[in-house]
Amino acid sequence: MTVAHLFLAPHFDDVALSCGGTVARLAAAGASVAVVTVFGGDPPEMPLTPYAQWHLRAWGVRSVAEAFATRRAEDAAATAVLGASLHTLSFVDGAFREDHYHSWDELRSRLHPTEAALPDAIAAATRASGLIGEETIITGPLAIGRHVDHQAIFAAMQLLAARGHRVRGYEDFPYAADEAEYVARMTSPALAGAMPEVVDITPWLETKGRAIACYRSQHSTLFPDGRIVETLRAYGAHIAGGIGVAERFWWPDFSAR
């Protein structure tokens, strides 16, 4: 069944973190909303790199199987709080994919040369989901922060736009809170001419906070002080210009690329 709004999440928490308030607002208004977690597949059976092992320790799990079962359960709970349907694709998280990315710096560089076809595959899988209709708005990451998985989805968004789909981008949180990363991405040629859309989420801030709280495995990394709602309110108030709390989206001019 097609939906009015489809949100692409690179990983299990990205939509809740970046635009969970808007998802909750749309769902509360009766719109059909789907979240598609793109890199939610099971990693291949292979020796883990030290970097992948670090992720397991940070998430408080003992194995890859436990890690992804935990994160999928968190994703389901969070998406239910937001009021959207959840769909998970089989692409594998970059930190666990083959043997290409051995550090945070490598994961924030460029797609490995052997993965050049990844954006095409993501675009094809998104279209094959059966969720996209003629009027569906597809919302995905702007790739602020340079994570290769976010970059791959942004490239897939360009391909979807070329097929005539309505596509906009969300500001990747928490990367967007880094001013240097934000400015570097928003002034890049890929986003030249992009038009902003600011959405007031003040009534849905607490709902967004409850959704993010479902991702318990991520708390120690993302919110070490435990102040989830306070952190979200501060950033959202900054976007809103101090009046209320907001999330911001951008409509890129893909036709100019």
Of the pLDDT bands very low, low, confident and very high (cuts 50, 70, 90), residue 255 is low
What six digits make up the tokens of 132?
């996209």
Give the chain's end-to-end CA distance (angstroms, integer): 31
Work out the number of other CB atoms within 10 angstroms of the CB of residue 195. Answer: 10
In the prediction, which pLDDT does 98 show? 78
pLDDT tens profile 88-104 = 999 999 999 877 888 99
Q: Decide if 95 contacts 52 (C-beta within 8 A).
A: yes
Choose the CATH number for 3-256 among 3.90.1150.10, 3.40.50.300, 3.40.50.150, 3.40.50.10320: 3.40.50.10320
**Mean pLDDT, rounded, for 217-240:** 93
What six digits make up the tokens of 207?
């709902």
Measured distance CA(22)–CA(46) in Å, rounded: 39
Q: Domain-by-domain residue ranges, the chain?
A: 3-256
In the prediction, which pLDDT does 99 show? 77
- Which pTM does this prediction carry? 0.96
**Mean pLDDT, rounded, for 24-51:** 93
Mean pLDDT (the chain, rounded): 94
What six digits make up the tokens of 111?
């797609």
pLDDT tens profile 4-21 = 999 999 999 999 999 999
List of residues 6+ apart from 45 with CB closer than 8 A: none
Is the alpha carbon torsion for 34, 164, 127, 194 positive or negative? negative
**Mean pLDDT, rounded, for 80-91:** 98
pLDDT at 256 over 60: no
pLDDT at 36 over 70: yes
Three-state DSSP class for 141?
strand
pLDDT tens profile 158-180 = 999 999 999 999 999 999 999 99
pLDDT at 247 over 90: yes
Q: In Å, how far from its chain's centre is CA 241?
A: 24
